[in-house]
Structures are given as structure tokens and as C-alpha cells.
Amino acid sequence: MNQNESITLQAPAKVNLRLEITGKRDDGYHELYTIFQKISLFDRITLSKTDQKGISISTDSLKIPSDSSNLAYKAADALLKHCNVQCGLSIHIKKKIPSEAGLGGGSSDAAATLTGLNRLLNLQVDEKTMLGLAVRLGADVPLFILETGTAIATGIGEKLSPVPMESPLWFLVVFPGISISTKWAYTTFSKDNLLTNQQKNITLYNSIKDSNEVKSLLYNDFERVILPAYPEIEAIKRELCDEGAVGALLSGSGSSVFGLFQSEGECEKALQSLQKDTGHQVFMARSI
């Protein structure tokens, strides 16, 4: 196959350094204030033009669909329809980001599909249009269209403000293999009357300096309902801190937990210790 008939992209994971649920809208969506951080844990997306009509999906994971319900399929379909292009396309997803883990893997795969297809077919769709297509696929998808590694998001997560991260951050991400429904997490949060109309402290940063500043930001409203329901997640947080993390937090609605470390060496040392825990997937990653 010629080089111009195929393209491969890395699709990074994200963690939420902070996540506040600030309100509920009439359409049922929740308003958020969150700080996204992309990390060096990647899926690989390969897009190839084919002679056969339509879009086909293949993957090395049994945990994600390989049909039209896959978010990458929906992304390709949306962009091709928007540009009124008929093209045979195969999408291969090599998964490394755990599914349903609060790490944005599906959203990142969808964004990589949009970006890659735009390049592969030389569609020349501008960023504003791409972001519009992305938000219709999911609230996290626009983040992965942007080249920035760190961003503050408001609205349902689609209003993004890039923030420079001045020093690299090191993370250990632990996925305990628990599937937590995002819908359940939001519903439980609302039912528990934790949602109030009081104005939360919304801060926009010109930059974020280092792990000490990030430590002061670490907060996730979902922990108020998820930690009581899943004590093993709280145990992972404690274990990460015992291994030297300056802070640990649930990412998104979980079930992944990340520990923040001050150096690569300290992170590596903790990785060696935590990898002994069978049943948990443990990943070392840095901010990107």
C-alpha cells in the first residue's frame, strides 16, 4: 500500500487533575469545571483507504465494539458526510488505554480518526469545524482535537482554554478493572443532593508550574459517591500515597486512579512495587 493511502496516529489518554460538577442543565447534561491533562499512554489508530465501500473497524481488544457503535466509526462517518465524500475506509485500533476507565480512550480514538482522516484525504477542514463535529460525538472529544496537553474545560467539557504546563509531570495510573457507569455516577451524585446552586471557585490559570501546584488542584466531585461505593478504589489511592505519590485522585468517573510523583525515579520505584498487585493494570506516564 502506498504511503498516501494509509496513516497511523497516536491517541493519548487523559486524566482529570480537577473535576467539579457546577450545575445541571435543563437538557439533562451537567455543567463542569475540569482540568484535563493528556498523558503518554496511547492507543494507535491506523486509517487506510480501501477499494470496498463503507467503513470497517478492526481492533485487538475484545472490550470495544468493531461495528457502527464504535466512536471512531461514528467520527469517520460524520466527517465523510460533512464533506460529502464517499470513500472506502478501514480503521484499525490497537488498544493500550483501558476501556471504561475514566481515561478518555474512546474519545481520543474518535478525535484521532477525525484528525487522521482530514490529513489522509486532504479534506482541509478547519479546526473550528472539527471541534464542532467532535463535540457532537462526545464532550471529551474536542480536547483531543487540540494540540495542547493541558486545558481547562467548562460547559459540558467542550469549552476549552489551553494552559501551559511549565514542568513535566509523572503519573502512575492504576486501573482495577472495575466498570463504573458514568450515567450512574452522575445520577447518584444528583440524587444524593450534593448538587447545590452555590458558586464554586472557578479559576482560569495563565500557566501551571509544577507538581506542587498540581497537588493543590487535585479534586474530583465524583469521589464523594464513588469511593463509598467502591472501597477498593480508595485503597488504591492510599497505596499510591504510601508509595510516595504527592497526591492521588480518581480520574473522571473512574475507575482509574492516578498518583502524581515529583520525579521519574520516584514514579519508576513505585511502579516496580505496584506491579506486584495482580489484577490491576498499572501504567507509568508523563504529561504531554
Q: Domain extents for the chain?
A: 3-162, 170-286
**Runs of H (alpha helix) within the chain:** 71-82, 105-120, 127-137, 141-145, 182-191, 211-217, 223-229, 231-242, 264-274
pLDDT at residue 93 in the model = 98
pLDDT at 228 over 60: yes
Distance of CA 284 to the CA centre of its chain: 16
Q: Is 27 a known active-site residue?
A: no
String of DSSP letters for 243-270: TT-SEEEE-TTSS-EEEEESSHHHHHHH
- Of the pLDDT bands very low, low, confident and very high (cuts 50, 70, 90), residue 111 is very high
pLDDT at 2 over 50: no
pLDDT at 80 over 90: yes
pLDDT at 4 over 90: no
According to CATH, the topology of domain 170-286 is: Alpha-Beta Plaits (3.30.70)
pLDDT at 1 over 60: no
Name the CATH code of domain 3-162 (choices 3.30.230.10, 2.102.10.10, 3.30.499.10, 3.10.100.10). 3.30.230.10
Residues 6+ apart with CB under 8 A from 195: 21, 23, 24, 189
The predicted model gives 228-236 an average pLDDT of 95
Exactly one of 74, 140, 221, 237 is catalytic; name it. Answer: 140
pLDDT at residue 120 in the model = 97
CA distance 10 to 233: 29
Among the residue ranges 82-86, 189-193, 233-237, the one predicted with the least confidence is 189-193
The predicted model gives 126-150 an average pLDDT of 95
The predicted model gives 27-43 an average pLDDT of 91
pLDDT at residue 25 in the model = 80
Q: What is the DSSP letter of 29?
A: P
Exactly one of 14, 38, 74, 237 is catalytic; name it. Answer: 14
The share of the chain scoring above pLDDT 70, in percent, equals: 94
pLDDT at 226 over 90: yes
State the average pLDDT for the chain.
91
CA distance 182 to 222: 10
Are 110 and 142 a contacting pair, CB within 8 Å? no
Q: Is 140 a known active-site residue?
A: yes
